[in-house]
Structure 1
Amino acid sequence: MENEKKLFTFTEIKQKLVNYCVYQDRCHSEVEQKMREFVLIPEAKEEILLYLLKENYLNEERFTRSYIRGKFYMKQWGKAKIKIHLKQKGITEKLISKCFDEIDDDDYTNIIRKVYENYFSKLKGLQLYQRKSKTVKYLLSRGFEYENILQVIDN
């Protein structure tokens, strides 16, 4: 009984998906996932997708740009981790590369430095090289590139 889909009219479903897209930028795969909650024939899904695109509720580039800004400036993720997550959402490599101009190079270096210093200062009771090594591994896990990490450490 739990996984029984709710029944709505076509207009109600369309409005629910408009609201879903207005609340926060979405990508195609998220909207398609949301559509699976409703009982829809393929033609209806297609019509709703076209409507969302035509009215600019669904815009892949806008989604990608806001996703990059959010994950970098709020969660302090590196470009590698952001790229992986966008690919999982079905965003093309070309669009991802195009939208990375949302991240300012100086901001990128400053965030790496900030995360590095913050994490490094929390490590106690270890040799200097162990603290450095652990911090580099941590930054790599946050999606920052090895070259950029070394550049920050060396300066």
Structure 2
Amino acid sequence: MYSKKTYTLQEATKKLEHYCAYQERCHQDVRQKLEGMHMIPEAIDVIIVHLLKHNYLNEARFAKTFVSGKFRIKGWGRRRLTFELKKKDISKVNINQALNAIENEEYIEVFNSLAEKKANAIKETNIFKKRKKLIDYLLYRGWESALVYEKANEIIK
């Protein structure tokens, strides 16, 4: 017969300290992890308060690292970043602070290089289909539609 592992408050706290120290986490990730460990709601609240008090958990710091990582590594635009952070229940203030950390010059630079790279990779011969594929790709990545359409018309003629 299978029995689930149970944790004391101290064991769960230590486990979550390591979980948060390994990588930035948001409140939602931590709550899900604790629920997955079958902790009771009161214990979850106590552990989250402990993590906040000892600076293992910080929503503003999480938002900044999330934005910089997804922007630089995955090439996500502001719209996608905002959407993903809202899904994680991050406050608007923290989202805006994190997005403001991206310099406009760098934002446009990353967008242009991503658009050029993708346009060169599309093997479509029909101009309209090629433009549509590029536009769909960039919109999915969360770039602003005005930027996307302007760039698509500039690159693919």
Q: TM-score, normalised by structure 2?
A: 0.88
| Cross-structure match for 1:26 | 25
For residues 41 and 104 of structure 1, the distance between their equivalents in structure 2, rounded to whole angstroms, comes to 43
Give the whole-Å Cα distance in 2 for the aligned partners of 1:94 and 1:30: 19
Q: Name the structure 2 match of 1:134.
A: 133
| Structure 1: distance between partners of 2:28 and 2:62 | 12
Q: 1:14·1:48 contact (CA, 8 Å) conserved in 2?
A: yes
Q: How many residue pairs were aligned?
A: 154
Q: Map 1:3-152 onto structure 2 (within 5 A).
A: 4-152=3-151
- What is the root-mean-square deviation of aligned Cα atoms in Å? 1.9
Deviation at 1:82, TM superposition (A): 1.2
Q: Deviations over 1:21-68 (max 9, x none)?
A: 000010000000000122323322211111100111000000000000
- Higher mean C-alpha displacement, 109-118 vs 23-32: 109-118
Gaps spanning 5+ residues in structure 2: where? Answer: none
Q: How far apart, CA to CA, are the structure 1 residues paired with 2:42 and 2:130? A: 58
Q: Is the contact made by 1:7 and 1:38 (CA closer than 8 Å) also made in structure 2?
A: yes
TM-score for both structures, normalised by structure 1 = 0.89
Question: Equivalents in 2 of 1:18, 1:124: separation in Å?
Answer: 48
CA shift for structure 1 position 9: 1.9
| Structure 1, 136-145 or 118-127: larger mean CA deviation | 118-127
Instruction: Give the C-alpha shift of residue 19 in structure 1.
Output: 0.4
Query: 8 Å contact 1:109–1:152 — kept in the other structure?
Result: no
Q: Secondary structure at the match of 2:139?
A: helix
Shift of 1:151: 4.6
Question: In the alignment, residue 135 of structure 2 is paired with which amino acid?
Answer: V
Residue identity matched to 1:126: T
